[in-house]
């Protein structure tokens, strides 16, 4: 009886994996068939909806795109950012109207050419049409 159970487990496990992959494929088909705020920013209600729900073409949320761009523009070492970076943004609906989302981070630190850390404010402008983020560094 033990041998039958040993043979049954891989079959059940494989069936579960196939079912999960099938469910994932159905979900992806639904998203591409019916665009949502996640995939198309013009379907979002307002700025908050865009920041919380919209994803870039690479599948990242706007705050994650801004965080990655901040690390790219850091000249001397990596940017020191809070765990939940770029959580400040303007309220309203003008991100949708202009096609550019603006997120702020006031708790960042960048290393200067002498190795010292400096507090900075970061302004991330994310172009929703082209999926390109730019980060401006403002020393405090």
- Rounded Cα gap, residues 137 and 132, in angstroms: 17
- pTM over 0.85? The answer is no
pLDDT digits (tens, 9 = 90+) for 127-137: 999 999 999 99
DSSP state of 10: H
In 10 A of CB 50, how many CB atoms?
Answer: 23
- At 14 the pLDDT is 45
What burial class does residue 79 get, using C-beta atoms within 10 Å of its C-beta: 0-12 exposed, 13-18 middle, 19+ buried? buried
pLDDT digits (tens, 9 = 90+) for 84-96: 999 999 999 999 9
- At 45 the pLDDT is 97
Domain boundaries, the chain: 41-139
């Amino acid at each position: 009886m033990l041998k039958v159970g040993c043979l049954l487990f891989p079959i059940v496990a494989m069936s579960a994996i196939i079912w999960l992959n099938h469910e994932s494929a159905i979900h992806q088909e639904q998203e591409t068939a019916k665009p949502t705020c996640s995939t198309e920013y013009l379907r979002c209600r307002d700025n908050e909806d865009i920041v919380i729900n919209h994803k870039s073409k690479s599948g990242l949320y706007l705050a994650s795109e801004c965080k990655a761009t901040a690390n790219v523009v850091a000249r001397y070492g990596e940017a020191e950012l809070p765990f939940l970076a770029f959580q400040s943004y303007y309220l309203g609906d003008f991100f949708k109207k202009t096609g550019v989302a603006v997120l702020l981070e006031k708790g960042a630190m960048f290393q200067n050419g002498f190795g010292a850390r400096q507090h900075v404010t970061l302004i991330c402008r994310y172009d929703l049409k082209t999926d390109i983020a730019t980060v401006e560094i403002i020393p405090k």
